[in-house]
Chains A and B, each alone.
Chain A
Amino acid sequence: GAGVSQSPRYKVTKRGQDVALRCDPISGHVSLYWYRQALGQGPEFLTYFNYEAQQDKSGLPNDRFSAERPEGSISTLTIQRTEQRDSAMYRCASSDRVGGYTFGSGTRLTVV
């Protein structure tokens, strides 16, 4: 597509529920990144993929967080048994091998 598309834009979920956040990167972009951003702060790295291979998941806070990109295109970030501290803006970005990142509009997750 023309840009990076994330869905849903907003998600309100009850504590303890699982959520799945979706990212559709720019067509042909090799790399896909997941970041979390608090208000007024810089994006904080979670995980990234080159094609379908997860290269680095060192930023995932704990084992309730997981991500996949099975066909090297669309990616899903899943948070199991959500907690209030998971509330944040989750941003996806994609890039070619050496270029800048194009960010999506993000998913605002609120855990109540």
Chain B
Amino acid sequence: QQPVQSPQAVILREGEDAVINCSSSKALYSVHWYRQKHGEAPVFLMILLKGGEQKGHEKISASFNEKKQQSSLYLTASQLSYSGTYFCGTLGGNTGTASKLTFGTGTRLQVTL
């Protein structure tokens, strides 16, 4: 099944923080996060592997709780350039090599002045 993301949409003022959640009904090996701007291809942000790893990318970080089968993406001090739709992509089971991602339902983020 498709991972469920929440919230579906969020509007922020520049400088505010946001959290996007991704929840799966299946055991997960890893979680990817992507951002897609309107009319463009999804762009890879980061990958989190089994082990509760937390990663950061500038002011964007993420966590992965494999027991809860959940991941969260944290955007701090948001910038206008953060606007777009965010997708998580999940890889199930014990896959150690390339396999297919199942993408989540998406979260539309809009940052305003």
Q: How far is the CA of A100 from the CA of B43 in the complex (A)?
A: 9
Does A8 count as interface, using CB distance less than 8 angstroms? no
Does B113 count as interface, using CB distance less than 8 angstroms? no
Q: How far is the CA of A59 from the CA of B45 in the complex (A)?
A: 25
Point out the residue from B34, B43, B97, B106 that lies within 8 Å of A97, measured CB to CB: B97
Q: How far is the CA of A33 from the CA of B97 in the complex (A)?
A: 14
Point out the residue from A31, A35, A44, A103 that lies within 8 Å of B98, measured CB to CB: A31
Does A102 count as interface, using CB distance less than 8 angstroms? yes
Cβ-defined contact, B97 with A91, below 8 A: no
Cβ-defined contact, B103 with A42, below 8 A: yes
Q: Given A102-B44, A103-B42, A106-B41 in contact, is the A40-B100 Cβ separation under 8 Å?
A: no
Cβ-defined contact, B101 with A101, below 8 A: yes
Give the total of A residues in contact with B, Cβ under 8 Å. 28
Size band of the interface chain B makes with A: 20 to 34
Q: How far is the CA of A42 from the CA of B42 in the complex (A)?
A: 9
Which chain B positions have C-beta within 8 A of A50? 97-98
Does B104 count as interface, using CB distance less than 8 angstroms? yes
Does A62 count as interface, using CB distance less than 8 angstroms? no
Which chain B positions have C-beta within 8 A of A30? 98
Which chain B positions have C-beta within 8 A of A95? 98
Does B87 count as interface, using CB distance less than 8 angstroms? yes
23 pairs of residues in contact across A and B, judged by CB atoms under 8 Å: A31-B98, A41-B105, A41-B106, A42-B87, A42-B104, A42-B106, A43-B42, A45-B103, A48-B99, A50-B98, A55-B99, A56-B99, A56-B100, A91-B42, A95-B98, A96-B98, A97-B98, A99-B47, A100-B45, A101-B32, A104-B41, A105-B40, A106-B41
A45-B101, A101-B34, A101-B89 known, 9 other contacts, Cβ within 8 Å: A30-B98, A33-B101, A42-B105, A42-B106, A45-B102, A50-B97, A91-B41, A96-B98, A100-B45
